[in-house]
Homo-oligomer: A and B are copies of this chain.
Protein backbone atom coordinates (compact mmCIF):
# COMPACT_ATOMS: atom_id res chain seq x y z
CA UNK A 1 0.00 0.00 0.00
CA UNK A 2 2.64 2.48 -1.02
CA UNK A 3 1.13 5.70 -2.14
CA UNK A 4 2.36 6.60 -5.56
CA UNK A 5 5.01 9.31 -5.78
CA UNK A 6 4.65 11.84 -8.54
CA UNK A 7 6.19 9.91 -11.33
CA UNK A 8 7.99 11.18 -14.38
CA UNK A 9 7.89 14.92 -13.92
CA UNK A 10 10.99 16.32 -12.28
CA UNK A 11 9.32 19.64 -11.61
CA UNK A 12 6.96 18.12 -9.09
CA UNK A 13 7.92 18.41 -5.48
CA UNK A 14 8.19 15.26 -3.48
CA UNK A 15 4.92 14.64 -1.71
CA UNK A 16 5.61 15.25 1.94
CA UNK A 17 4.18 12.43 4.05
CA UNK A 18 2.54 14.95 6.35
CA UNK A 19 1.30 17.87 4.34
CA UNK A 20 -1.49 20.19 5.35
CA UNK A 21 -3.29 20.91 2.12
CA UNK A 22 -6.33 22.49 3.71
CA UNK A 23 -4.11 25.07 5.31
CA UNK A 24 -2.71 26.08 1.97
CA UNK A 25 -6.16 26.13 0.50
CA UNK A 26 -7.68 28.37 3.14
CA UNK A 27 -4.61 30.57 3.44
CA UNK A 28 -5.35 31.74 -0.08
CA UNK A 29 -8.50 33.36 1.25
CA UNK A 30 -7.58 34.52 4.74
CA UNK A 31 -4.29 35.28 6.42
CA UNK A 32 -4.13 32.71 9.18
CA UNK A 33 -3.14 33.36 12.76
CA UNK A 34 -0.85 30.93 14.51
CA UNK A 35 -3.77 29.64 16.55
CA UNK A 36 -5.88 29.01 13.47
CA UNK A 37 -2.93 27.34 11.88
CA UNK A 38 -2.70 25.04 14.86
CA UNK A 39 -6.35 24.10 14.74
CA UNK A 40 -6.16 23.30 11.06
CA UNK A 41 -3.13 21.10 11.65
CA UNK A 42 -5.19 19.14 14.14
CA UNK A 43 -7.86 18.64 11.49
CA UNK A 44 -5.32 16.72 9.44
CA UNK A 45 -4.44 14.45 12.36
CA UNK A 46 -6.73 11.57 11.60
CA UNK A 47 -5.27 10.31 8.33
CA UNK A 48 -6.05 7.18 6.48
CA UNK A 49 -4.76 5.60 3.30
CA UNK A 50 -7.21 4.14 0.84
CA UNK A 51 -6.21 1.92 -2.04
CA UNK A 52 -6.96 2.77 -5.62
CA UNK A 53 -10.30 1.64 -7.00
CA UNK A 54 -11.74 1.57 -3.52
CA UNK A 55 -14.93 3.47 -2.76
CA UNK A 56 -14.51 6.36 -0.37
CA UNK A 57 -18.16 7.33 -0.21
CA UNK A 58 -21.05 5.17 -1.33
CA UNK A 59 -24.25 6.84 -2.44
CA UNK A 60 -27.12 5.97 -0.15
CA UNK A 61 -25.00 5.43 2.97
CA UNK A 62 -24.86 7.78 5.90
CA UNK A 63 -21.74 9.68 6.87
CA UNK A 64 -20.88 11.75 9.88
CA UNK A 65 -18.14 13.88 8.45
CA UNK A 66 -16.10 15.09 5.52
CA UNK A 67 -12.60 14.33 4.29
CA UNK A 68 -9.67 16.40 3.21
CA UNK A 69 -7.94 14.81 0.28
CA UNK A 70 -4.26 14.98 1.25
CA UNK A 71 -2.88 13.07 -1.69
CA UNK A 72 -4.09 11.29 -4.79
CA UNK A 73 -7.08 11.71 -7.05
CA UNK A 74 -10.70 10.81 -6.49
CA UNK A 75 -13.79 11.05 -8.61
CA UNK A 76 -17.28 11.91 -7.56
CA UNK A 77 -19.95 10.33 -9.70
CA UNK A 78 -23.48 9.18 -10.05
CA UNK A 79 -24.78 6.07 -11.76
CA UNK A 80 -28.24 6.16 -13.30
CA UNK A 81 -30.73 3.35 -13.13
CA UNK A 82 -29.95 2.50 -16.74
CA UNK A 83 -26.29 2.02 -15.97
CA UNK A 84 -24.93 5.22 -17.43
CA UNK A 85 -22.38 6.97 -15.27
CA UNK A 86 -21.66 10.65 -15.06
CA UNK A 87 -18.60 11.83 -13.23
CA UNK A 88 -19.44 15.09 -11.50
CA UNK A 89 -15.94 16.13 -10.71
CA UNK A 90 -12.40 15.16 -9.98
CA UNK A 91 -11.00 15.71 -6.51
CA UNK A 92 -7.36 16.76 -6.38
CA UNK A 93 -5.10 17.13 -3.36
CA UNK A 94 -6.38 19.84 -1.05
CA UNK A 95 -9.98 19.38 -2.13
CA UNK A 96 -12.70 18.65 0.34
CA UNK A 97 -14.40 15.36 -0.30
CA UNK A 98 -17.92 14.84 0.88
CA UNK A 99 -19.14 18.27 -0.12
CA UNK A 100 -21.93 18.29 -0.90
CA UNK A 101 -22.76 14.61 -0.91
CA UNK A 102 -22.16 13.84 2.77
CA UNK A 103 -24.28 16.75 3.94
CA UNK A 104 -27.36 14.72 3.21
CA UNK A 105 -28.94 12.13 5.43
CA UNK A 106 -27.98 9.64 2.78
CA UNK A 107 -25.08 10.47 0.51
CA UNK A 108 -26.34 11.55 -2.90
CA UNK A 109 -23.18 10.75 -4.86
CA UNK A 110 -20.41 8.22 -4.68
CA UNK A 111 -16.73 8.96 -4.49
CA UNK A 112 -14.02 6.53 -5.41
CA UNK A 113 -10.25 6.61 -5.38
CA UNK A 114 -8.53 6.70 -8.75
CA UNK A 115 -5.07 6.34 -7.27
CA UNK A 116 -4.01 5.31 -3.81
CA UNK A 117 -5.05 8.26 -1.71
CA UNK A 118 -4.52 9.76 1.72
CA UNK A 119 -7.47 11.40 3.38
CA UNK A 120 -7.92 13.13 6.69
CA UNK A 121 -11.36 12.68 8.12
CA UNK A 122 -13.22 15.56 9.73
CA UNK A 123 -16.24 14.50 11.73
CA UNK A 124 -19.08 16.99 11.67
CA UNK A 125 -18.50 17.63 15.36
CA UNK A 126 -15.09 18.98 14.44
CA UNK A 127 -16.60 20.99 11.64
CA UNK A 128 -19.13 22.53 14.01
CA UNK A 129 -16.28 23.35 16.34
CA UNK A 130 -14.54 25.08 13.47
CA UNK A 131 -17.56 27.26 12.76
CA UNK A 132 -18.12 28.03 16.42
CA UNK A 133 -14.60 28.67 17.60
CA UNK A 134 -12.85 29.84 14.48
CA UNK A 135 -15.35 31.89 12.53
CA UNK A 136 -12.73 33.22 10.15
CA UNK A 137 -11.96 29.67 9.15
CA UNK A 138 -15.64 29.06 8.67
CA UNK A 139 -15.79 31.98 6.30
CA UNK A 140 -12.72 30.78 4.43
CA UNK A 141 -14.23 27.33 4.14
CA UNK A 142 -17.41 28.85 2.79
CA UNK A 143 -15.34 30.67 0.20
CA UNK A 144 -13.41 27.55 -0.68
CA UNK A 145 -16.61 25.65 -1.31
CA UNK A 146 -17.87 28.44 -3.50
CA UNK A 147 -14.75 28.11 -5.58
CA UNK A 148 -15.36 24.40 -5.93
CA UNK A 149 -18.90 25.15 -6.97
CA UNK A 150 -17.61 27.49 -9.67
CA UNK A 151 -15.69 24.59 -11.14
CA UNK A 152 -18.91 22.65 -11.42
CA UNK A 153 -20.41 25.62 -13.16
CA UNK A 154 -17.74 25.61 -15.78
CA UNK A 155 -18.22 21.89 -16.10
CA UNK A 156 -21.86 22.55 -16.91
CA UNK A 157 -20.85 24.88 -19.70
CA UNK A 158 -18.56 22.18 -20.94
CA UNK A 159 -21.29 19.58 -21.19
CA UNK A 160 -23.97 21.90 -22.42
CA UNK A 161 -22.29 24.12 -24.94
CA UNK A 162 -18.96 22.81 -26.08
CA UNK A 163 -18.15 20.22 -28.72
CA UNK A 164 -16.38 17.02 -27.78
CA UNK A 165 -13.11 18.42 -29.02
CA UNK A 166 -13.47 21.58 -26.99
CA UNK A 167 -14.55 19.67 -23.91
CA UNK A 168 -11.43 17.58 -23.87
CA UNK A 169 -9.25 20.62 -24.47
CA UNK A 170 -10.96 22.48 -21.67
CA UNK A 171 -10.57 19.63 -19.25
CA UNK A 172 -6.89 19.29 -20.03
CA UNK A 173 -6.35 22.97 -19.35
CA UNK A 174 -8.44 23.03 -16.20
CA UNK A 175 -6.68 20.07 -14.68
CA UNK A 176 -3.34 21.56 -15.52
CA UNK A 177 -4.22 24.79 -13.75
CA UNK A 178 -5.65 23.02 -10.73
CA UNK A 179 -2.77 20.60 -10.38
CA UNK A 180 -0.26 23.33 -10.86
CA UNK A 181 -1.88 25.33 -8.09
CA UNK A 182 -1.11 22.53 -5.69
CA UNK A 183 2.38 21.84 -7.01
CA UNK A 184 1.49 18.69 -8.88
CA UNK A 185 2.17 19.77 -12.46
CA UNK A 186 5.01 21.07 -14.58
CA UNK A 187 4.81 24.23 -16.71
CA UNK A 188 3.00 22.39 -19.46
CA UNK A 189 2.66 18.80 -18.37
CA UNK A 190 1.28 16.57 -15.70
CA UNK A 191 0.46 13.04 -14.84
CA UNK A 192 -3.15 12.02 -15.22
CA UNK A 193 -3.94 8.45 -14.21
CA UNK A 194 -7.34 8.27 -15.88
CA UNK A 195 -8.48 5.83 -18.51
CA UNK A 196 -10.20 7.14 -21.59
CA UNK A 197 -13.32 5.48 -20.29
CA UNK A 198 -13.16 7.69 -17.21
CA UNK A 199 -12.50 10.77 -19.31
CA UNK A 200 -15.57 9.86 -21.31
CA UNK A 201 -17.70 9.78 -18.18
CA UNK A 202 -16.31 13.13 -17.11
CA UNK A 203 -17.02 14.68 -20.48
CA UNK A 204 -20.38 13.11 -21.17
CA UNK A 205 -18.99 11.25 -24.19
CA UNK A 206 -18.36 7.68 -25.26
CA UNK A 207 -15.00 5.98 -24.87
CA UNK A 208 -14.27 5.60 -28.56
CA UNK A 209 -15.07 9.20 -29.25
CA UNK A 210 -12.73 10.42 -26.55
CA UNK A 211 -10.07 8.36 -28.23
CA UNK A 212 -10.67 10.13 -31.53
CA UNK A 213 -10.53 13.53 -29.87
CA UNK A 214 -7.26 12.62 -28.17
CA UNK A 215 -5.86 11.72 -31.53
CA UNK A 216 -7.10 14.93 -33.09
CA UNK A 217 -5.46 17.01 -30.38
CA UNK A 218 -2.21 15.23 -31.02
CA UNK A 219 -2.45 15.58 -34.79
CA UNK A 220 -3.20 19.26 -34.48
CA UNK A 221 -0.15 19.65 -32.29
CA UNK A 222 -2.14 21.09 -29.41
CA UNK A 223 -1.65 18.50 -26.72
CA UNK A 224 -0.88 14.84 -26.28
CA UNK A 225 -2.04 12.21 -23.86
CA UNK A 226 0.09 9.10 -23.86
CA UNK A 227 -0.74 6.73 -21.10
CA UNK A 228 -0.87 8.95 -18.06
CA UNK A 229 1.44 11.64 -19.36
CA UNK A 230 -0.33 14.79 -20.51
CA UNK A 231 1.70 17.37 -22.39
CA UNK A 232 0.30 20.66 -23.62
CA UNK A 233 2.13 21.79 -26.72
CA UNK A 234 0.22 24.93 -27.55
CA UNK A 235 -1.32 26.45 -24.47
CA UNK A 236 -2.83 29.52 -26.12
CA UNK A 237 -4.03 27.63 -29.16
CA UNK A 238 -5.77 25.15 -26.92
CA UNK A 239 -7.26 27.89 -24.78
CA UNK A 240 -8.69 29.65 -27.81
CA UNK A 241 -10.13 26.47 -29.18
CA UNK A 242 -11.66 25.39 -25.90
CA UNK A 243 -12.82 28.86 -24.91
CA UNK A 244 -10.87 28.43 -21.73
CA UNK A 245 -10.68 31.35 -19.33
CA UNK A 246 -9.15 30.71 -15.98
CA UNK A 247 -10.87 33.39 -13.90
CA UNK A 248 -12.99 30.79 -12.19
CA UNK A 249 -9.93 29.03 -10.84
CA UNK A 250 -8.38 32.06 -9.18
CA UNK A 251 -8.38 32.09 -5.39
CA UNK A 252 -7.84 35.55 -4.01
CA UNK A 253 -8.00 36.95 -0.48
CA UNK A 254 -11.44 37.81 0.81
CA UNK A 255 -11.75 41.60 0.91
CA UNK A 256 -12.55 43.54 4.08
CA UNK A 257 -12.29 40.51 6.31
CA UNK A 258 -10.65 41.84 9.43
Measured CB to CB, the residues of A under 8 A from B are: 64, 76, 78, 80-82, 84-86, 88, 99-101, 103-106, 108-109, 124-125, 127-128, 131-132, 135-136, 138-139, 141-143, 145-150, 152-157, 159-162, 201, 203-204, 243, 247-248, 250, 252, 254-257
Contact = CB atoms under 8 A, between A and B. Distances in A.
Contacts of A155: 156
A174 to B, nearest CB: 13
Contacts of A254: 103, 124
Closest 3 A/B residue pairs (Cβ) = A160-B204, A100-B146, A159-B159
A159 to B, nearest CB: 4
Contact of A131 (B101, B125, B135, B152): B135
9 contacts: A64-B255, A84-B161, A86-B157, A100-B147, A103-B143, A108-B248, A131-B139, A132-B135, A159-B160
Contacts of A148: 149
Given A128-B256, A159-B159, 15 more contacts: A78-B154, A85-B161, A99-B146, A100-B147, A103-B143, A109-B153, A124-B256, A131-B135, A135-B135, A138-B138, A138-B142, A142-B145, A145-B145, A152-B152, A161-B204
